[in-house]
Amino acid sequence: MTVDEIARMLKASREFVYKNRRLLGGIEVGRLVRFPKTVFERIIEEVHRSKWRYDFLKGGVHYKRAGFKTKAEAVQAEAGAGIQSINTDFLKLCTARLEDIEIRRSKHHFSENKKLFEILMQL
């Protein structure tokens, strides 16, 4: 997949995709950057499904609920917990990327990327 395709899918700029190409699994072919479709197939298939959800731990209990059409609906549903909404498209991208890293890279590389994704999820 091309940088433009990834940017459209993530609703991000081309510059963002270029800057984060390694994190997103980009492969440099000469001056071009390409992305393996396998990493993004699940995301592409589920783009039209629910886009927003909440997912948090409170008192040792894991709460999660999906199916919100807008971020505002998800925020309203989780207002009592005070936890930010998670864009499920980005969450699926991170999960797919971590699965790919776990298969193709070292345990250290996997753990470092997992920490980074956990930080990104908190933003």
**Do 4 and 31 fall within a single domain?**
yes
Are the C-beta atoms of 116 and 78 separated by less than 8 Å?
no
Q: Each residue of 88-121: b (16+ CB within 10 Å) or e?
A: bbbbbbbebbeebbeeeeeeeebeebeeebeeee
This prediction has a pTM of: 0.38
Question: What pLDDT, in 10s, does the model give residues 32-64?
Answer: 998 887 767 666 655 545 567 777 676 666 777
- Determine, yes or no, domain membership for 90: yes
In this structure, of 52-61, 71-80, 111-120, the range with the lowest mean pLDDT score is: 52-61
**Do 55 and 24 fall within a single domain?**
no
Question: What pLDDT, in 10s, does the model give residues 92-107?
Answer: 888 888 888 888 889 9
Separation CA 39–CA 25 (nearest Å): 8
**Do 63 and 22 fall within a single domain?**
no
Domain containing residue 80: 49-122
| AA letter at 49 | R
Two tokens, residue 78: 């989780």
Question: Tell me, what's the pLDDT at 77?
Answer: 75
Number of domains in the chain: 2
Question: Tell me, what's the pLDDT at 15?
Answer: 92
